[in-house]
């Protein structure tokens, strides 16, 4: 199936001469949740802003649902809902009015029942008549989500949707995202909470210094790049790792009861068998062992450091 | 045409007007009344007639124009500057709407507001002096044309301004002097010949002259020239706005 968003050769150099995107190629599949990760200033917001029509690209092409974002901007933009990173809200409008305004702006006929559902899903229903200025930051963030959902987008951009939202409401928000995905909406999100990407995303893209450094299915990514850690709970505490085991670069816990061994699951030989043999030789016995896959965060940090 | 979007913007802007009713309507009415007291009563009692009408009556069209010009610019420039300033412009830029639709929404609302205001001021004037309008249709046409033209001009200022000072600068330094010197309170024919020629370089002279003609059939310049000048200014503003949207000037980075 054709990708719902295709970006090719996209570059952006700001008027200041700073290049924030450098020849980006990216395809987003219909119906997936795509997490765009990258350190501060990597170019995530710039990329989203170009696709949504807020920033002009310097070169390159973007199509949404097959519609060019310049040539056929109406059709392209009609598909998109955007929740920007910064909290940009009116002050004196009511929640209900501002959400209804968004729907009108996108050319959709009035649908109070839908807006009611959206506000209820986002726990905003009791605030529907409140002026936006009287809301807290987290509530404003949800108002912006409601605005983006009001016009029933097929593609939803969430630029750090959970920044400043408390744990409970964050869960509620992810429930909304899951529901949208189930309804066939494509979701592109950025977040600095990597657990969120790990939990929610189908695919992960990492952007650094304006270049896409990796796009991968989450599971494959973790498998391919994942390192594992083998932890051994010792029968007796030891003071230091024996000299003979030095090549394994084992980490001894402070209390001396635990040894940890990091290995690469990609490697032909993980070294576990020989480690276990050498441990026996060194007279170290253990009562329990466990292995743990490294998280997306570890992968991310190692990628961006390179 | 995305009419719903135009309606949404228009309604949003008009809601702002009703919310700020006091500044929007009351203060121009009060200041116009003050003009009447100062110019109409105090000075007017010393000037008997201008071109066959009493001075108080003579200044009515100029006063209405003065308010319509300044209010059109103020409303429209603020209307588009504010979303830029607080960032809500992102939604306008990302919506499936054309430039024409954006302009229709914002400029339409700003013009509506200043037309309503102009009519209120006219009614206020009616409390001070007897009014007679010879060509009501022309009068309304001039009013609408001026409101639309200067709302477009205000829209341009609002996009150009990147600070509140700039937002105020053009209206204060250019528009207010031009309107005051444009014959609101006198006929440019009353000026000495040299000043008269200079005054004719002022575009506002043509607006006020044409508008006054629709009331009393007295004019400083021929009414056709007034209409042509207004339309020319309208065309210039539209061209600039077309260019702004084409290049994304001050709207998109
Ligand atoms: N208007 C601008 N003019 C010049 N440079 C800009 C402008 N906007 C952004 N940049 C630069 O472009 C780069 C990318 O910015 P962007 O906002 O896309 O980063 P980001 O990945 O979203 O970061 P964050 O995680 O902090 O949100 C940054 O170095 C930023 O300083
Ligand atoms: Mg960002």
The b-or-e profile of B108-120 (16+ CB within 10 A means b, else e) is bbbbbbbbbbbeb
Average the pLDDT over B137-163 and give the result: 94
| pLDDT score for B195 | 85
Give the Å distances, CA to CA, from A107 to A60, A103, B78, B91, B187. Answer: 28, 7, 25, 13, 49
**Number of residues in chain A:** 306
Give the Å distances, CA to CA, from B78 to A26, B17, B110, B119, B159. Answer: 39, 11, 9, 22, 9
| pLDDT score for A173 | 86
Ligand 1 midpoint to CA B222 (Å):
56
Average the pLDDT over B234-251 and give the result: 89
Of B9, B88, B94, nearest to A52 by CB-CB distance is B94
Does the domain at A5-222 match CATH 3.40.50.300? Answer given as yes
Short-list B245, B249, B194, B205, CA closest to B229:
B205
Angle between helix axes B99-128 and B55-86 (nearest 10 degrees) is 150
Collect all residues with Cβ–Cβ distance below 8 Å to B38 and sequence separation of at least 6. Answer: none
| pLDDT score for A19 | 95
Collect all residues with Cβ–Cβ distance below 8 Å to B233 and sequence separation of at least 6. Answer: B149, B153, B203
User: Is B253's C-beta closer than 6 angstroms to any atom of ligand 1?
Assistant: yes
ipTM: 0.87
Q: Which atom of ligand 1 is closest in space to residue A210's alpha carbon?
A: 14
Short-list B218, B140, B151, CA closest to B183:
B218
Q: Cβ–Cβ of A108/B87 closer than 8 Å?
A: no
Query: Are B109 and B71 spatial neighbours (Cβ–Cβ below 8 Å)?
Result: no
Burial class, B189, CB count within 10 angstroms (exposed 0-12 / middle 13-18 / buried 19+): middle
- In terms of CATH architecture, what is A227-305? 2-Layer Sandwich (3.30)
Q: And the tokens for B127?
A: 């409390």
- pLDDT over threshold 80, residue B222: yes
Report CA torsion sign: A13, A14, A19, A22.
negative
Quick count: other Cβ atoms within 10 Å of Cβ A169? 16
Kindly state the DSSP code that residue A58 receives in the 8-state scheme.
S
pLDDT tens over chain A, length 306 residues: 789 999 999 999 998 999 999 999 999 999 999 999 988 999 999 999 999 999 999 999 999 999 999 999 999 999 999 999 999 999 899 999 999 999 999 999 999 999 999 999 999 999 999 999 999 988 999 999 999 999 999 999 999 988 878 888 888 888 999 999 999 999 999 988 877 888 899 999 999 999 999 899 988 877 766 678 889 999 999 998 988 888 888 889 888 899 999 887 766 777 888 898 899 888 899 999 998 876 667 777 777 776
CA-CA distance, B143 to B27, in Å (whole number)?
20
Pocket test for ligand 1, best of A16, A22, A46, A82 (most atoms within 8 A of CB): A46
Kindly state the DSSP code that residue A296 receives in the 8-state scheme.
H
Q: Reduced to 3 states, what is the DSSP secondary structure of residue A256? A: coil
pLDDT tens for each residue of B164-218? 998 888 888 888 888 888 888 888 888 888 888 888 888 889 999 999 999 999 8
- Whole-prediction pTM: 0.85
| pLDDT score for B250 | 80
CA-CA distance, A12 to A22, in Å (whole number)?
7
CA-CA distance, A227 to A303, in Å (whole number)?
13
Query: Are B158 and B83 spatial neighbours (Cβ–Cβ below 8 Å)?
Result: no
- pLDDT over threshold 80, residue B24: no
Q: Cβ–Cβ of B15/A86 closer than 8 Å?
A: no
Q: Reduced to 3 states, what is the DSSP secondary structure of residue A182? A: helix
Tell the residue number behind the tokens 């986002």, with chain if given.
A122
Strands A286-293 and A227-234, by their bridges, are antiparallel
CA-CA distance, B61 to B176, in Å (whole number)?
16
pLDDT tens for each residue of B84-142? 999 999 999 999 999 899 999 999 999 999 999 999 999 888 888 888 899 999 999 99
User: Is A154's C-beta closer than 6 angstroms to any atom of ligand 1?
Assistant: no
Ligand 1 midpoint to CA A85 (Å):
11
Domain assignments of chain A as residue spans, ordered by start: 5-222, 227-305
| pLDDT score for A266 | 67
Give the Å distances, CA to CA, from A168 to A164, A177, A228, B104, B174. Answer: 12, 15, 31, 43, 56
| pLDDT score for B249 | 83
Quick count: other Cβ atoms within 10 Å of Cβ A235? 12
Strands (E), A84-175: 155-159
CA-CA distance, A64 to A157, in Å (whole number)?
12
- pLDDT over threshold 80, residue B23: no
For B54, phi and psi rounded to 5 degrees? Answer: -65, 155
Q: And the tokens for B224?
A: 């056709």
Average the pLDDT over B231-241 and give the result: 93
| pLDDT score for A224 | 66
Residues of A whose CB is below 8 A from B2 = 74, 107
Maximum Cα interatomic distance, chain A, rounded to a whole number of Å: 77
pLDDT tens for each residue of B50-73? 888 888 888 899 989 988 998 999
Kindly state the DSSP code that residue B200 receives in the 8-state scheme.
T
- Tell me the shortest Cα–Cα distance from B36 to chain A, in angstroms: 35
Q: Dihedral of the CA atoms B157, B160, B163, B167 (nearest 10)?
A: -10
Short-list A109, A121, A183, CA closest to A151:
A109
């Amino acid at each position: 199936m054709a990708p719902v968003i295709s970006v090719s050769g996209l570059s952006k150099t700001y008027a200041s001469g700073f290049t924030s995107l450098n020849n980006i190629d990216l395809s987003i599949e219909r119906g997936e949740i795509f997490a765009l990760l990258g350190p501060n200033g990597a170019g995530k917001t710039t990329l989203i802003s170009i696709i949504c029509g807020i920033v002009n690209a310097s070169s390159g092409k973007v199509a949404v649902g097959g519609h060019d974002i310049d040539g056929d901007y109406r059709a392209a933009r009609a598909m998109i809902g955007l929740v920007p990173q910064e909290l940009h809200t009116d002050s004196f409008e009511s929640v209900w009015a501002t959400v209804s305004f968004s729907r009108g702006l996108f050319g959709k006929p009035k649908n109070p029942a839908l807006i009611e559902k959206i506000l209820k899903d986002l726990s905003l229903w009791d605030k529907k008549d409140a002026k936006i200025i009287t809301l807290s930051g987290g509530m404003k963030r949800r108002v912006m989500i409601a605005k983006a959902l009001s016009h029933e987008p097929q593609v939803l951009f969430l630029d750090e949707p959970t920044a400043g939202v408390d744990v409970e409401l964050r869960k509620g928000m992810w429930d909304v995202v899951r529901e949208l995905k189930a309804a066939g909406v494509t979701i592109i999100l950025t977040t600095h909470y990597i657990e969120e990407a790990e939990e929610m995303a189908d695919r992960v893209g990492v952007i650094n210094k304006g270049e896409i450094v990796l796009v991968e299915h989450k599971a494959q990514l973790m498998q391919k790049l994942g390192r594992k850690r083998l932890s051994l709970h010792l029968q007796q505490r030891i003071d230091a790792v024996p000299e003979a085991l030095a090549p394994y670069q084992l980490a001894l816990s402070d209390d001396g009861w635990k040894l940890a061994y990091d290995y690469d699951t990609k490697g032909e030989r993980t070294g576990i068998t020989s480690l276990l043999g050498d441990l026996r030789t060194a007279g170290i016995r253990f009562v329990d062992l466990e292995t743990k896959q490294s998280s997306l965060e570890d992968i991310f940090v190692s990628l961006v450091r390179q | 045409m995305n009419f719903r979007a135009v309606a949404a913007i228009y309604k949003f802007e008009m809601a702002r007007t009703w919310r700020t009713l006091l500044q929007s309507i009351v203060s121009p009415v009060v200041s116009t009344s003050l003009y009447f007291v100062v110019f109409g009563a105090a000075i007017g009692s010393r000037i008997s007639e201008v071109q066959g009408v009493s001075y108080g009556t003579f200044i009515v069209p100029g006063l209405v124009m003065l308010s319509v010009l300044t209010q059109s610019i103020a409303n429209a420039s603020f209307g588009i500057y504010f979303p830029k300033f607080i960032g809500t412009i992102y939604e306008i830029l990302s919506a499936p709407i054309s430039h024409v639709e954006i302009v229709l929404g914002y400029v339409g609302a700003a013009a509506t507001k200043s037309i309503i205001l102009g009519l209120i001021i006219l009614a206020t004037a009616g409390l001070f002096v007897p009014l007679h309008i010879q060509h009501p249709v022309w009068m309304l046409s001039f009013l609408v044309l001026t409101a639309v033209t200067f709302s477009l001009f205000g829209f341009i200022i609002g996009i150009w301004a990147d600070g509140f000072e700039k937002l105020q600068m053009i209206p204060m330094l250019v528009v207010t002097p031009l309107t005051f010197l444009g014959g609101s309170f006198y006929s440019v024919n009353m000026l000495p010949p040299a000043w008269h020629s200079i005054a004719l370089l002022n575009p506002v002279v043509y607006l006020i002259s044409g508008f006054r003609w629709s009331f009393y059939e007295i004019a400083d310049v021929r009414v056709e020239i007034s209409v042509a000048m207004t339309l020319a200014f309208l065309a210039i503003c539209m061209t600039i706005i077309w260019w702004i949207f084409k290049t994304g000037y001050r709207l998109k980075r």
